[in-house]
Every structure is written in C-alpha cells, then in structure tokens.
Amino acid sequence: MEAFRIHNPTQIIFGKAQIAYLGSEMRKDGLQNCILIAGGGSIRKNGAYDQVINSLNQAGIRYTEAWGVQANPRLDKTRQIIDQAREFGAEAVLAVGGGSVIDTAKAVAAGMYLKDIWNAFIGKEIIKQALPLYTVLTLSGTGSEMNGNAVITNTNTHQKWGITSQFIYPRLSIIDPSLQYTLSFKQTANGAMDAISHILEFYFANERALSTLAINEALLQTITAMTDRLQKDPEDYVARANLAWSASLALNGLTGFGMNSGDWACHAIEHALSALHPEISHGEGLAVIFPAWIEYLSEKDPSRFQRWAKRVWDEDNIAQGVRRFRAKLQSWGLASSLRDLSIKPDELSQIVDIIMLNPNIGGVFKLSKEDLRLLLMLAY
C-alpha cells in the first residue's frame, strides 16, 4: 500500500423526507440564492421538485431554474447555464437529479471562476475555487453526490472527459432513496452497473490493500443482491436505501483507498463509445466493456482476478466468474455485446481512435492500441 490521502468534506443527509432540511442548511451557510439545475422533468414526477421548492421558499432562498440537462451531459449546455448563473448573480448551485445533472452543476460551480470551463478539462486552466454546491439525488449510480469528479461531453470533438477538484465536492447532498421508486428497472440496473464498475476500477489495482478489497467485495455483493430485489419490487425501501448508499460509497474515496488511483481503462473505453453514440447509457456501455476487459486481462495476469471470482462469485475459475457476472447483467436486461448496442463493425477503429485521444489508457494494466482493438473484438 503506497502513501494515500483522503479528504471528503461532503455532508450527507440520508433518508425519507429529508429534503425539507435543504433550505435551512443553505441559510445556515449564509446563502440567499441559488441556481437550480435539473434534467428533463422526472423530478416533477417523483416529487423531488415540489419538496425542494417548498424548502427553498420556507427558508427564503431565491432561485432561478435551469432545465434540460441530458444524459451524457454536454459542454454547450454547461456554458449556457454558466451564463445564466452569472446573469442571475448566483451565490450557490443546486443540482436536483442524477449524475448528469450533478456533473453539470459541478462544472457550472467551477466555471463561474474560469475564462472557459472546457479549459479545465483539457488542462489549460486550473480550478482554484467554485460556488458552493448542494445536491438532491434522484438516481444512484455515478456517486457524483459525494466526490469531486465531473464528466462532460464536448460533442464537437467527441471528447467525453473529466475534471477532479477538491473545490467541487458538494457541500451537502441529500439522498432520499424513496425518490427512486419511480425509476424504470432499466435505469436502476444502469445505475447499479455504474456503481459496480467504480468498485471494479479499483478492485484489481493492488493485492495488498486487504481492508479495501474486503470492503469492495462487501459492496459488490450488496449492490448485486439489492438490484435483484428491486427487479422484483421497485418500492422495496430497504433495497433502495442500501443500493443508494453503496453507490455513494463506491466512488467517495473508500473503495480506492490504497489502490493507486485505480485502473479506469473501462471508463475511458465507455466514454469513447458514448461520445460517439450519446444514446448509449453509461451503465449499459460498462456492462459490455467490463466483462470483456476482465476476460482479456485475466489471461495475461490471472492472480488478481482469481480472488474476485472466488469472493464475489464463489467460483474457483476466472472464466466461470466472468460467465456468472455476464449472466447477472443479462438477467437485469443490460446489453452484453457491442452488437447489442448497435455498434457497426466498421466503427471499431474510429472508437479506438477516440479512446487514443488520451493515450494513457489503464492506470494499472496499460493498454496499447492493439490491446484495445483485440478487447473491442472480444466485446463485439
């Protein structure tokens, strides 16, 4: 285990009907207004919007609303909201939604202090401050409610890239698992796969971080079992709550402790897929890529993958573990090949080129252009 730092300043308020505290918490922090960022309208159906507005009004917090953030959130939309926030004189950013909304809100919070927010993604400007950020989570998976990461897509350049900064951790995130009752099972399963993938990006990185490995196995098992329960009953509160909390832990620092920053090749590959095809959901892209990545690498370096097969799937054999993993994802209705995602064979080399825009693929297991080509064939 190498030297490691962890500092997660986000406050979490977790449970039913906890949105009521939002306004008074913002007041305590000395705020008088915010820009509320949202997606396409699901927060009107699940009740989050009304609860948020009530709480803001009761605390006397003024707000302007910015709607229309899409899945795989876009740079042009982010820039537009930054303009709106400046015009309004926003003192804080409030995200009400899932990971795309929260990621957009983070980019807005930091972008207020930059010439252009995209500069932060490509390393041309450094984030040194940001507006205070509050979130109300309505879809668990990305973990964005409890970390300092954001991913935005530049549709002009096909770059789906990320920023990481201590300044964009939410100050407060409210997680009411009952808001997720109205999600389709497909959305729930996509979120679960996203959380699983965050854990797996770290899991194979260091065989000696035994406490982290054991915690990660506990979370992988819990997420899988809770998703199975939600497939039967979407209003199973215990399953919603445990899945939501596991997804927050999956990318809040805990699962990466002692893990040398993780691998992240699968995320880079998936980001290329959905940069080219924005209709592909992040979770579904990962469901295709991750089993193929394990299959591909386990032939080269089996020892790390054997523990995973044994502890997570109770299988002595890696191939059998991969088979169980794929079968579980299929049972949740997720795609299991690039073909399922309607990728054309002649797009594969273009996908490899997009991945190689950032040529440093795989923090633990470096992947060459040839590795990527073979891996995508395996996933096809």
- The count of other CB atoms within 10 Å of the CB of residue 107 is 30
Query: Which amino acid, one-letter code, is at 293?
Result: W
- Tell me the closest approach of the beta carbon of residue 332 to its own copies, in angstroms: 19
Confirm if 70 and 39 have CB atoms less than 8 A apart.
Answer: yes
- Tell me the closest approach of the beta carbon of residue 21 to its own copies, in angstroms: 9
- Tell me the closest approach of the beta carbon of residue 79 to its own copies, in angstroms: 32
- The count of other CB atoms within 10 Å of the CB of residue 355 is 23
Please pick, from the candidates 136, 209, 280, 379, the single residue that binds its own copies as defined by CB under 8 A. Answer: 209
- Tell me the closest approach of the beta carbon of residue 205 to its own copies, in angstroms: 15
- Tell me the closest approach of the beta carbon of residue 207 to its own copies, in angstroms: 9
Please pick, from the candidates 2, 29, 87, 279, the single residue that binds its own copies as defined by CB under 8 A. Answer: 2
- Tell me the closest approach of the beta carbon of residue 134 to its own copies, in angstroms: 13
In the complex with its own copies, which residue's Cβ is closer, 127 or 292? Answer: 127
Stretch that binds its own copies, among 70-78, 202-210, 266-274, 330-338 (CB under 8 A): 202-210
C-alpha dist (Å) from residue 34 to 22, 50, 147, 170, 283: 12, 16, 20, 14, 30
Sites for its own copies among residues 212-271 (CB under 8 A): 212, 214-215, 217-219, 221-222, 225-226, 237-238, 241-242, 245-246, 249, 254, 257-258
Residue 181 in contact with its own copies, rule: CB under 8 A: no
Query: Which amino acid, one-letter code, is at 298?
Result: S
Confirm if 12 and 173 have CB atoms less than 8 A apart.
Answer: yes
Beta strands 149-154; 159-164: pairing state:
antiparallel
- Tell me the closest approach of the beta carbon of residue 208 to its own copies, in angstroms: 5
Stretch that binds its own copies, among 84-92, 180-188, 207-215, 317-325 (CB under 8 A): 207-215
What phi and psi, each to the nearest 5 degrees, are found at residue 256? -105, 5
Q: b or e along 266-297 (b: 16 or more beta carbons within 10 Å of the residue's beta carbon)?
A: bbbbbbbbbbeebebbbbbbbbbbbbbbbbbb
- The C-alpha R_g of the chain, in whole angstroms, comes to 20
d(C-alpha 139, C-alpha 212), whole Å = 25
* Residue 226: partners with Cβ closer than 8 Å, 6 or more residues away: 192, 239, 240, 242, 243, 246
* Residue 371: partners with Cβ closer than 8 Å, 6 or more residues away: 296
In the complex with its own copies, which residue's Cβ is closer, 113 or 237? Answer: 237
Sites for its own copies among residues 60-89 (CB under 8 A): none
Residue 126 in contact with its own copies, rule: CB under 8 A: no
Please pick, from the candidates 8, 182, 306, 337, the single residue that binds its own copies as defined by CB under 8 A. Answer: 8
Residue 208 in contact with its own copies, rule: CB under 8 A: yes
Confirm if 379 and 288 have CB atoms less than 8 A apart.
Answer: yes
Which residues form the interface with its own copies (CB under 8 A)? 1-18, 208-212, 214-215, 217-219, 221-222, 225-226, 237-238, 241-242, 245-246, 249, 254, 257-258
